[in-house]
Structure 1
């Protein structure tokens, strides 16, 4: 492990020579905007040899092979299966698969585990094995590339997390070789998922997040297109650690981590509180503000960022990923994707306010030493319940006041109770991945999985 890290470090140092020094930049804060979830491709279920390749994709593959000398000796590129802000991913056949110990190949292990001796004999002939080649754009800084490779290496034996097989560098280009996972496009199934299927989906996602968070790593970009889910295998894999970072990176103390007494004291003696005491009805700002500007990492995807990320909390923890997972569950329950679709951070905060109300958003802002004010009359003080939001979105509201009141079914109510634990504006009260896997909503998923395995065993007997 130490040798691998040293090798990665050397690669980062070599890469750094090909880029301008980025340390001189002093932006107000760090914001890496991941691709819009509606613009990303999210399906790799076709593994046939004769799958169609678009002419432009074929040209792209040819350019890649010509620019990255030697790549076609080890891999046969087949198709482009994903494009993001920072990279492009290709499906490829691993031409040297049988030369190595491929412990990363989960699907092959599963096939061997459940195959009969007869089928194993049939499989003795060598069959093609596929990988995903992630071409990281040269505009990415060497530090970012090294960080992603190092985190993937640290997570190589983690359940439901995409492991790093290997990585190559040619001049200023870097590619990461990852397992190729068959999965369906989220847009093809999210409207039709039953609550029992949602349990299995969320169980697999939180299994991955538990492993990531154990290593004190923030993924920062949890969303459907970064969780490759195969609904037939009821298994998903968390991918794309391009925005991930270790907990504690560039931390500065935030009010949210202080004891409640000290936090209340700071709020009571803040500039905002003094203005309120002076009788100002609206928020005013000092003419000569001596306070320094606040810088915080706000990386992620629009609509999936937690409130503390939007409010520039300077001590963000792994719990930010739990909010993003909650948005996925809200999407499944409301049948709306994307559920939040803001243009910027202000719009994002207002979208959250629509649901949780002005009072809760003011409290959330003060928690991080910020002030939240809005004079838009349509935003109510206490917002709306998640139950009502789901009924509205799924067309189960009735304008006739005399009609019987429509309610969520029992399974949906269980899901909503779990959802409240995820979409908690105070990060200190939000549920962790470990706690989520012990929640009654997900423990039923374990029971369902065990029942399915018993049925498989019976059929084989």
Structure 2
């Protein structure tokens, strides 16, 4: 692994990176735009599953372009495609020649095996996931992903990096293969008790990642490989991840409230409001430099501060994305948000939280939010009402009583409010989430006592 990192570092240093400051920001965003959840594939491929002809041709091209890969791995099927990479299921042909501390399933099998069986070399095939990173990715991006994976190798519920190879301009990362199901196959059928288990596993992973001050930046169902039968998931794809504090510039959200209010009071926006303008005016010749911030991620899962170009984003952006997943499960709608761009995304959030909340959130980051679309109410709608609408339960029942959420759903919604908090400083953390009643019930046995220590190692 050290050799691979050193080689990638040399490649990154040797390759000049040219930046055009006048490049359109939309083009810049495209480079960090993860694939739409509906366009991604994310499922388990069985070994005996029939391979499509196009996939077989793709595998053949990969083996031909990456010299020697077929001597160490037998590629079986393509199991995932994204914006920046393709993932293949493969058999590890040299499994018994190396230390395989990453193999959770093998350790579990040996735990319950007899002493004689433990001493024997494992004969069953062992599978890995080979991630082919596209050559369009910059050397710096590739190095960053491998470096972060290396740092997270002992983190719970996080997919560890086994090794990495480079051949010419091709880079592959070898990761454990995890049995999982496509989110689209089970999200409509999940009960509240199932959701508790799902998010317990997800927040264990996020607690481990955030403890190392790493932002995943692309939390969504296809990046959390979950096995409902085992109630176990693993967080994958750190292609857009970054360390907290990377390229930070001061944002108003980090200022003391008194200083922030003073800035707002003396802003051009406040002056136009005092002059009686109903709609904010814009300077004819704006000499201010454009505001740039990392907006990497997937449409529909970005937190408000990402859309508002906060320049000091932290791990709380991942918690908002987790909240969108919970909203998806409770509403039975996937994807819940389906915006075309950042403006549409802000308006979708406004539909729920209302214009007042979005104005407050925007001012928090030194931005102005204005819309004259009459369908957006001032105070928005409650999440309870949204979920009842989405699940066709609005109105009254046969007795004339107003239909309400079940008690366990109400608890889930209370937790959802903590995740979908527009102010990132008030949003619940992964560590706090694991101590929330909605999650702690997943740890409780039938007697109602907790038999699991939830103070996990980060």
TM bracket (short chain)? over 0.9
Question: More deviation in 421-430 or 276-285?
Answer: 276-285
1:449 Cα shift? 9.3
Count of aligned pairs between the two proteins: 447
Q: How does 1:41-52 map to 2 (within 5 A)?
A: 41-44=41-44, 46-48=45-47, 50-52=48-50
Q: How does 1:37-436 map to 2 (within 5 A)?
A: 37-44=37-44, 46-48=45-47, 50-113=48-111, 115-117=112-114, 120=117, 126-398=123-395, 403-436=400-433
C-alpha distance in structure 2 between counterparts of 1:78 and 1:130, whole Å: 9
1:288 Cα shift? 2.0
Gap change, CA 1:240 and 1:452, over 3 Å in 2? farther
User: Secondary structure of 1:191's match?
Assistant: helix
Q: Does the CA contact (< 8 Å) of 1:77 and 1:93 recur in 2?
A: yes
- Cα deviations across residues 246-293 of structure 1 (Å, max 9, x unaligned)? 111110000000000001001111111111112211111111222221
C-alpha distance in structure 1 between counterparts of 2:70 and 2:398, whole Å: 67
- Cα deviations across residues 211-236 of structure 1 (Å, max 9, x unaligned)? 11011111000000000000111000
User: Secondary structure of 1:11's match?
Assistant: helix
Gap change, CA 1:224 and 1:125, over 3 Å in 2? closer
User: Secondary structure of 2:67's match?
Assistant: coil
Q: Does the CA contact (< 8 Å) of 2:40 and 2:82 recur in 1?
A: yes
1:452 Cα shift? 12
Q: Does the CA contact (< 8 Å) of 1:166 and 1:177 recur in 2?
A: yes
C-alpha distance in structure 1 between counterparts of 2:306 and 2:372, whole Å: 23
- Cα deviations across residues 296-319 of structure 1 (Å, max 9, x unaligned)? 000000000000000000000010
Instruction: Tell me the residue number matched to 1:439.
Output: 436
Gap change, CA 1:119 and 1:360, over 3 Å in 2? farther
C-alpha distance in structure 2 between counterparts of 1:265 and 1:306, whole Å: 26
C-alpha distance in structure 2 between counterparts of 1:381 and 1:270, whole Å: 23
- Cα deviations across residues 11-65 of structure 1 (Å, max 9, x unaligned)? 2322564x55234556465521100101111111x443x2211101000000000
Aligned-residue Cα RMSD (Å) equals: 2.2
1:77 Cα shift? 0.4
Gap change, CA 1:440 and 1:125, over 3 Å in 2? closer
- In structure 2, list runs of 5 or more residues that go unmatched: 452-458
Instruction: Tell me the residue number matched to 2:454.
Output: none
- Cα deviations across residues 329-377 of structure 1 (Å, max 9, x unaligned)? 0000000000000000000000000000000000000000000001011
C-alpha distance in structure 2 between counterparts of 1:453 and 1:276, whole Å: 55
Q: Does the CA contact (< 8 Å) of 1:12 and 1:145 recur in 2?
A: no
User: Secondary structure of 2:222's match?
Assistant: helix
User: Secondary structure of 1:88's match?
Assistant: strand
Gap change, CA 1:6 and 1:174, over 3 Å in 2? closer
C-alpha distance in structure 2 between counterparts of 1:342 and 1:60, whole Å: 32
Gap change, CA 1:107 and 1:25, over 3 Å in 2? farther
Q: Does the CA contact (< 8 Å) of 1:336 and 1:393 recur in 2?
A: yes
C-alpha distance in structure 2 between counterparts of 1:304 and 1:227, whole Å: 14
User: Secondary structure of 2:88's match?
Assistant: strand
Gap change, CA 1:125 and 1:236, over 3 Å in 2? closer
Question: More deviation in 125-134 or 183-192?
Answer: 125-134
C-alpha distance in structure 1 between counterparts of 2:123 and 2:67, whole Å: 27
Q: Does the CA contact (< 8 Å) of 2:135 and 2:169 recur in 1?
A: yes
Superposition TM-score, scaled by structure 2 size: 0.93
C-alpha distance in structure 1 between counterparts of 2:323 and 2:260, whole Å: 27
C-alpha distance in structure 2 between counterparts of 1:267 and 1:335, whole Å: 40
Q: Does the CA contact (< 8 Å) of 2:4 and 2:166 recur in 1?
A: no
Q: How does 1:8-23 map to 2 (within 5 A)?
A: 8-14=5-11, 17=14, 21-23=17-19
C-alpha distance in structure 1 between counterparts of 2:157 and 2:202, whole Å: 8
Instruction: Tell me the residue number matched to 1:458.
Output: none
Instruction: Tell me the residue number matched to 1:457.
Output: none
Gap change, CA 1:69 and 1:257, over 3 Å in 2? same
Gap change, CA 1:28 and 1:274, over 3 Å in 2? farther
- In structure 1, list runs of 5 or more residues that go unmatched: 455-461
Q: Does the CA contact (< 8 Å) of 1:28 and 1:293 recur in 2?
A: no
Gap change, CA 1:335 and 1:122, over 3 Å in 2? farther
